[in-house]
Amino acid sequence: MLLKDSWGTIFLVSVATLCCSTKMKSAFRNWSDIRVFLAVVREGSTLAASQKLGVAQPTVARRIEALEHALGLHLFVRDTRGFKPTENGRRLVEHAEAVERTILEFSDQAAELATGKPIRITAFSGNFSPRMLDIVDQFSAYNPNAAFEFLPTVKSLDLMAGEADIALRLARTEPDPNLICRKISDARWSLFGGASYAQKFGLPSSIEELGGHRFVTFQRGDVPNVFHEWLRRNVLPEQIVATYSEIDLMHAAIRSGKGLGISNIRLVEDDETLLRCFSEIQELIVPQLMLISPDAYRRTEVKDFIKYFAPRYAEIFK
């Protein structure tokens, strides 16, 4: 395009440049107008939308006009019954709702970051030992904004579904390949008895000497009953005198002398009231894993905690 400047000199201007400049001036930039647009679509009028949004009705009307001008589109048909979206308006609703969802997710994530979302750790209650909690406290001393929530249970909570962020778990089956996995140690198990039982009946020194002894066991329907099944393979049914659905109750029964029972060697090593009968039961050795939800691992504080916690926690089991 040929133009003259203020001195009358003729020069060339690209038509594309002028068009680009015109587009930039009318480019859509006010994201809050999407909220107004959706309110009018959903409520059917600028008055109802203003009441929903908590702003004046003239303000809603002006924002709709500004949005139409910025987009270069006619979005509503106005009549005495209210505002009805045009074909263009209806086609934009889906995209406007996608923007709305993104903004809400952004807001929720920002709120979580501001309030300090806790790192949720699930494990059998015995794993939350004083030494394990000392490591958490040491991390917290260097990271005062980190918060924790402990979920003691023998159940396997679903990390992929968000029921917890980190699990300390025995790998009796292959873990979900989508989870981040760190091996901590090999969990080892043996047979234990209480002092009063040992005084009355003595303690077996090998698996071959289990005959004639009494046993208590742990069994429930929502977890693998590995130890109960091991006892059933190695002793007569009548030798099992009590079954408990909580491990702590089984340990209490062993201490009281009710019978012998299987326990994690590391878990009870500092308990002088429990006497180990013989070395670990080889067929019960199982890897102990730390499993991390991939969503949780994307959080900086979770990644920092794993880096700090995992080697120190593994050291306990060496």
pLDDT tens column, 137-169 = 999 999 988 899 999 998 899 999 999 999 999
CA 103 – CA 34 distance, rounded (Å):
11
pLDDT at 16: 38
| Total length of the chain | 318
Tell me the mean pLDDT in the region 79-96.
91
Amino acid at 70: A
* pLDDT of 2 over the 60 cut: no
Domains, the chain, ordered by start: 31-113 (1.10.10.10), 119-185+292-316 (3.40.190), 189-284 (3.40.190.10)
Residue 203 confidence (pLDDT): 97
What is the C-alpha separation between 114 and 112, in angstroms, rounded? Answer: 5
Tokens standing for residue 175: 């873990």
Q: Is 90 exceeded by the pLDDT of residue 271?
A: no
Instruction: State yes or no: pLDDT of 258 exceeds 50.
Output: yes
**Average pLDDT for the chain:** 87
Between vectors from CA 317 to CA 251 and to CA 289, what angle results, nearest 5°? 90
Quick: pLDDT tens for 17-29: 334 444 434 456 7
CA 186 to CA 301: how far, in whole Å? 27
- The structure tokens 């979005």 sit at 75
- Using one digit for the tens of pLDDT, what is the confidence trace for 230-245? 999 999 999 999 999 9
SS3 44: coil
End-to-end CA distance of the chain: 81
What gap in Å lies between CA 310 and CA 314, rounded to an integer? 6
Instruction: Judge whether residue 191 has pLDDT over 60.
Output: yes
